[in-house]
Structure formats: C-alpha cells, structure tokens
Amino acid sequence: MNQIPGTKTTTKTSTVNGVTTVVTTVTAPGQPTRITTTTTTKVPAGQQPVDPQRIPAQLDQPQPQGKSEPDKQRRSGFFSSLKKHVLRNDEPPKRTSIIQTAPAPAPQPAPQPQPQPQQYQRPIAAPVPAPVVRHETEDPVDNLAEKMRKAALSRPPTTTTTSTTTHSGPVVKKVSSSYRGPVEDAIAMLKKSQPLVAPNFTGQRLDVSSIDFSREDDHARSCPSSEASTIARLSHYLTSPCSGDQVSQLRTIFTWIANNIAYDVPGFMSGRYGDQTPEGVLRNRQAVCEGYANLFVALAEPAGLQVQKVIGVARGVDVQVGDERLGSPHAWNAVSVDGEHLMIDSTWGAGVCDLSTRSFRKVFRPFFFLLRPNRLIYTHWPENPKQQFLDPPVHESVFRGLPAVKPESWTLGIKMAGKYRGQVVKTKDDYIEVEVRLKKRPSDGATGKIVARLNWKGQAIPTSAQWVREDSRYVFMAIKAWCPSSGSGELNVFGWPPGGDQTKNGPQCMGFKVINEGSGRSAKPLLQQYVVKGFAFSVLEPVTAQVKKGVPQTIRVRAFDVEPGTKPALALQGPDGGMPERLPQIEPGLFEIKKVLAGGQWKLVHMTSEYGFSFAAVFDAV
C-alpha cells in the first residue's frame, strides 16, 4: 500500500496483569489520525478466552442512579427513555472524551448462580481494554441514547476519530463522524425522497383535503358517555357504522380523541405524566403525546386497523425557530391505507398548548389526519429511520435544515421561494429579504395574503411585503426588513385565505431566525402599507419611508389579486391635503407617475368614489 508523504507511525507497548497492549498511531498530512490497539491475553491451558465482543456491551449498560422509588416511577416509560436523548434549553452541552484504553469498572458483588454441569462461566478478572465513548458527567448509555444525544448537542464536534481494536479473533471497529450542520437547501434534498408504498399500493394516492368528513365527525362528536366506558365498546361505536371503509373508521377515531382528550400541560412541564395506558387515558380524559398514540392504537385494533405507534422528537411549542436541538420527545401514529403509508398525530390535531399559562386550548386541526410522510418530516423526526416511510430516508442534516413551517403554510398555499429556504437568515449589512410564493386558486386565480413581523429584542420592527413577479400558478412576494442593531431576532409570516379579513389576526404560516452581523447603522425605515379592500398591492417605489424633496421621484405601484367587481384607482395626495392626483396605469396592474415632491407628508390612496378614498401608504419628503 502506498504511503502518503509525511506519514508518521509511532508504537507503544505495555503489559499489565498478563495483558499486552500495543498502541500504533499513524498520522498523515490532511488525513484523520488512525489509532490501532492490539491486545494479547495469555490464557491458561484448559480455559476459554474472554469474549471481546461482550465487554464493550457490558460497559455500555446504564448504571443504577440510586433514586427514590417515587422518582423512579415518575421517570419510567416513554419519556424517561427518550427525554435523555434531547437537551433542554437549560441543559449545557456535555463534552465527549474518547478513552482509548479505559479498563472496565470493577464489578459489583452479586449473588452467584448455582453452577451447572458443563456450563462455562465467563471470567470477570482482567477484562480486555477497549475504546469506549463516555460523557464526563454521566454514566455510560446505550448506543441509541448516545446517538440521539450527540445529534441534539448545540455545538456538535467537528473532528473525525477512527479507533480500531484488534483481538485474537474478530475486529471491533468504532467510528464517530462529525456533524457539520444543516444542508444548504434541505427542501431540494427532501424532494429526492419519495413516500414509501406497500406492494398492494393501488397507484392512487389519497387526498383527504377533497373528502367531506362531516358525517364521520358528527358521529364521533355525538358519542354518548355510556358508549365510551371501555376501549372495546368505544371502538365498536366509532367504527362499526363505517365497516369496510378504513379511512372513515380512522377518521371517527381521530375526531373522537381530538375532541375528548385534553393535553396534560402541567404533567408535561413537571414530568409527572400519569397513566398513559389506553385505559388510563380513557378514564382520565387527559394525556401527553404517548397516551394519545397508545389510545389510537387500542381503538383501531378491534376494528382490524393496522396502526402503529411512532416515537421520536418533534418541533413543538417548546422548540424555538433556529433551535439547534432536534426537537422535544413526541409520539404519533402511522397506518397503511391501500398500500400508502400515511401519518396521524392526534395530539397536535386536538389543539395547542400555552406553556406560559400552563394551559391547553382545544382546536380541531384535521391537517394532522392521514398526512403524507414528506410533509410530516418537516416537524417530526422518528427514532427509527424506517418509520420516516421515505425512500431513501432523509439524513438528520436535512431535517435540521428544513424550514419552520406551520400547517397553515400548506392549507393557504404559502410556501418558501428564493435562496432562503431554511430556518436561519443571516446578513452582514443590516438588510434581509426573504421570498415566498402564494399559490393561485385554480378557479379564479385568487391568492392568500401575507404580512410579516420582525421581533427584535422586544421591539416590533416594520417590514414590507412586495410583489416581485407572477406566473400562471404563483405570485412571488419579497419580505423586506432592516435590522436596527447587531444580534438576532425572529421574523414571522402570517397569512389569510383568498378574500380573508386582514383586519383580524391571521395564523402564523412560517418563521425564521434572523442573525445580523452588521452594526445596524445602515437601517432605514420602510414605507408602511395599509390594507385596501378588494385587491392586493405593493409599492415598488419608493421603498423607504423617507425620500428627498425637490428632486424627481418615481411612484410605482403594482395591483394584483383583484376581486371581481373591483377596479383599482390609485392616486397621490400632497402635503396640502388637496384632491389626490390619479396615477396612470401604464400596463395592466401597474400604476406609475414621476414628479418632483415638495417637502411634507405624501399619501398614496385608493379612490373609492369621485371624492372618497382609503389610505394605502404614507411617506415623507424631506
């Protein structure tokens, strides 16, 4: 084998208690350091050698913590096994050290079983040294916990270490590779994975948005308390009227759970989750996510519905946009319908939590019923990659890089576009611009409407949403904002359906973490637009709230998404408050005028009648 120029090899030999260890270190320019540990143990005649593969497994077992019985009971079950994988906000990252030749800990005295004839007892003296990975402040954990914890660290390692231990038999090899952050365009990477289908797939994918479930929902909501006394009785009531219709049966179960089981916010926050068995959840009518998922499986089983529980993490209310954690522990369900794998989250379908008030608000959210895997993966990361139901499964870095979108992003047709398609927007010059697209309604071309808010260190910073371009399917909008100082903030985008009332609060569709490395000195106030009834518009010029007086200034406005019966009539009113001057329409939807502006406040208005008008925007000439 050819060696790389500059390669250095060092060998160190030591013998302890009859165990000879040879450590060979090979370093080469631009290559990871390779350490090979060869251990030779002298075995007396008539004895069998120590099994080298069982020693690391023994070292990796969790050790007793010495907690009280109530504490042990409180931390048992789903959350105790999964919460240790994910760091909370108040937990500092734990450093990882690689111990190349750590001896096994001394075994604790334990009652010895009665020897049986011809049964080999594995010797416990002089264990074979082996490289193990440990956290300095905790006991060893199993491989899954180690993997999940490393993934959740806020600042993962940036080096790659390969360690090989060779015994007089098999080779035990451990490789820990570095995590280098989310991919640049996770959406593009996700598109390379397709939802899995079973061999019995019919070829027709299910679109639940086109199905009227009012009959199933009414039946579930009308369930008398006498029919909900046991799992079997409730399952029969919900599923028997729609026997043979798998989708309808699943819907009645989903609707009943969402309307009758409340999320236990105090239990979630305190760690005292209570009884999460199906019977306990049915009796108490409250649960955390594990209880929701368990109850769904139990109600589906008597009807022959093959529903499984999925455990992992999710980006819930306690995970901030741009958070470097994978998420918080969560459980949901998966089911196969006519060969198509679909996802159900009855916890998120039941309502929303407010951790500040420790309360739960019931809101029926059917979006989380029979969701395609390539949509749920934006917020849900299963512990088992096979339960992504994607081919091929996406890498953790793709999940980290996916944008923070809400269900309303899908239902309102408001998606991301442009170069920023992740959770974090960075700038060095105080200015940010994020592009989104609004899907046109096929029947009439109408689109939803958006506004954006930049929260910056407790301040609400004005933003602007401007028309950029459009085609037969989409209208593209640019959200613009200036950061007033260095640091970070959060940009939230809110939306309304076509014809929605923008005077009322709209739901959040997506969010971004904004990081400004500039000083904030370049920040300028943006021109503020108001809501005009009947159409949407963008002031393309001027962009800022202040322009120079006494010089020619172009006023350009784009009107779009015009409702039937509405005719945009834009005009400009000067500081004297006189009759507004109409803006000529130079092409369909584009209004423009160029003039020298006197000092003072200028108003862009929409003429609703010969003399009446409504304000559209205001700026100053100084």
Per residue in 47-56, pLDDT (tens digit) is 444 443 333 3
pLDDT for position 269: 87
Per residue in 327-343, pLDDT (tens digit) is 889 999 999 999 999 99
Residue at token pair 């371009």: 469
pLDDT for position 75: 37
pLDDT for position 34: 62
Specify the length of the chain in residues: 622
Per residue in 348-404, pLDDT (tens digit) is 999 988 877 888 899 999 999 999 999 999 999 999 999 999 999 999 999 999 999
Token pair in block for residue 9? 């090899």
Per residue in 242-299, pLDDT (tens digit) is 999 999 999 999 999 999 999 999 988 888 989 999 999 999 999 999 999 999 999 9
Share of the chain above pLDDT 70, in %: 72
The residues facing 165 across adjacent strands are 37, 172
Residue type, 474: Y
Give the residue-averaged pLDDT of 591-595: 95
Q: What proportions of the chain, in percent to the nearest 5, are helix, strand and coil?
A: 20, 35, 45
Give the residue-averaged pLDDT of 37-66: 42
- Give 229's pLDDT tier (boundaries 50, 70, 90): very high
Cis amide linkage into residue 407, ω under 30° from 0 = no
Give the residue-averaged pLDDT of 481-493: 95
Contact between 569 and 531 under an 8 Å Cβ cutoff? The reply is: no
Domains and CATH numbers, the chain: 1-41+51-60+76-87+127-180 (no CATH), 186-401 (3.10.620), 411-526 (2.60.40.10), 531-621 (2.60.40.1930)
Token pair in block for residue 486? 């260095």
Instruction: Say whether pLDDT at 111 is over 90.
Output: no
Q: What does the radius of gyration of the chain's CA atoms come to, in whole angstroms?
A: 31
Instruction: Say whether pLDDT at 116 is over 90.
Output: no
pLDDT for position 40: 58
**CA–CA dist 335, 309 (Å, integer):** 9
Top pLDDT among 353 and 156 is at 353
pLDDT for position 324: 78
pLDDT for position 503: 75
Instruction: Say whether pLDDT at 438 is over 80.
Output: yes
Residue at token pair 């172009």: 554
Per residue in 88-103, pLDDT (tens digit) is 334 443 333 333 333 4
pLDDT for position 126: 37
Give the residue-averaged pLDDT of 568-594: 94
- Give 548's pLDDT tier (boundaries 50, 70, 90): very high
Residue environment code for 333-357, b if the CB has 16+ CB neighbours within 10 A, otherwise e:
bbbbbbebbbbbbbbbbbbebeeee
Task: Using DSSP bridges, classify how beta strands 613-621 and 546-547 pair: parallel, antiparallel or unpaired.
Answer: parallel
- Give 3's pLDDT tier (boundaries 50, 70, 90): low
Top pLDDT among 545 and 141 is at 545
Instruction: Say whether pLDDT at 57 is over 70.
Output: no
Top pLDDT among 153 and 513 is at 513
pLDDT for position 391: 93
* H or E element at residue 593: strand 590-596
Give the residue-averaged pLDDT of 409-416: 91
Model pTM score: 0.69
Average per-residue pLDDT for the chain: 78
pLDDT for position 16: 56
- Half-sphere CA count of 622, side-chain side, radius 13 A: 5
Top pLDDT among 16 and 175 is at 16
Per residue in 447-485, pLDDT (tens digit) is 999 999 999 999 999 899 999 999 999 999 999 999 999
Task: Using DSSP bridges, classify how beta strands 600-607 and 96-99 pair: parallel, antiparallel or unpaired.
Answer: unpaired
Residue type, 242: C
What residues contact residue 112 under an 8 Å CB cut-off, 6+ apart?
none
